[in-house]
């Protein structure tokens, strides 16, 4: 199935809200980070599949920084949308907030970016529709993703070229809370 018509970012928007239960909590009584990641993966799948009209798989997850813990009894909301498309890949931006339903106070808990790839029934990559940006907010998110992709390419290149076996590299370990016995 080939797509040539551009699709709006709004075609990818998905929101889920869920009440955080004691069964979702970790040993310190906050909502388990792994549970949040699982829900983020689900909403990324939903957003990318909705946008592309194809089955999608998670290719990578850009850093997830847990800014504020989510408490039991809070209403957690995730909003996702496709911010960027490649040929068969889409970058889905996800924003997680939680609301204290008694006070109405809302906190930003984390934001992350999932790279999803569209697949056909045989598991081969399929082309996704090109993106139609309809607001300056869409444009901002698109360019932020372009910037993140180029930074990741630079970082990967540095990791490939960095030689950790040199005397200089080993000497630099003294700057960290580590020692080596080789």
User: Tokens 């204290």 map to which residue?
Assistant: 100
pLDDT of 162: 84
Q: Residue 103 pLDDT more than 70?
A: yes
Residue range 73-93, pLDDT digits in tens: 999 999 999 999 999 999 999
What band does 2 get if pLDDT is binned at 50, 70 and 90? low
User: What tokens appear for 156 in the block?
Assistant: 């990967």
Q: List all residues 6 or more positions away from 57 whose beta carbon is below 8 Å from its beta carbon.
A: 116, 117, 119
Q: Residue 119 pLDDT more than 90?
A: yes
Which domains, and CATH codes, for the chain? 7-135 (3.10.129.10)
Say how many Å lie between the first and final Cα of the chain, rounded. 55
φ, ψ of residue 89 to 5 degrees: the values are -105, 155
Please tell me whether residue 145 adopts helix, strand or coil conformation. helix
């Amino acid at each position: 199935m080939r797509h040539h018509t551009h699709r709006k970012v709004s075609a990818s928007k998905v929101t889920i809200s869920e009440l955080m239960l004691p069964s979702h909590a970790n040993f310190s009584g906050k909502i388990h980070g792994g549970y949040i990641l699982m829900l983020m993966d689900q909403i990324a799948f939903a957003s990318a599949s909705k946008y592309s009209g194809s089955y999608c798989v998670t290719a990578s997850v850009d850093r997830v920084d847990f800014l504020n813990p989510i408490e039991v009894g809070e209403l957690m909301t995730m909003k996702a949308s496709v911010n960027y498309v490649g040929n068969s890949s889409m970058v889905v931006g996800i924003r997680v907030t939680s609301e204290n339903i008694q006070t109405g106070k809302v906190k930003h808990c984390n934001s992350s970016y999932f790279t999803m790839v569209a697949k056909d029934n045989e598991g081969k990559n399929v082309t996704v529709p090109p993106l139609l940006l309809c607001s300056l907010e869409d444009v901002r998110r698109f360019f932020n993703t372009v910037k993140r992709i180029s930074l990741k390419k630079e970082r990967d290149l540095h990791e490939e070229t960095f030689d950790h076996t040199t005397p200089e590299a080993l000497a630099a370990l003294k700057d960290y809370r580590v020692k080596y016995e080789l």
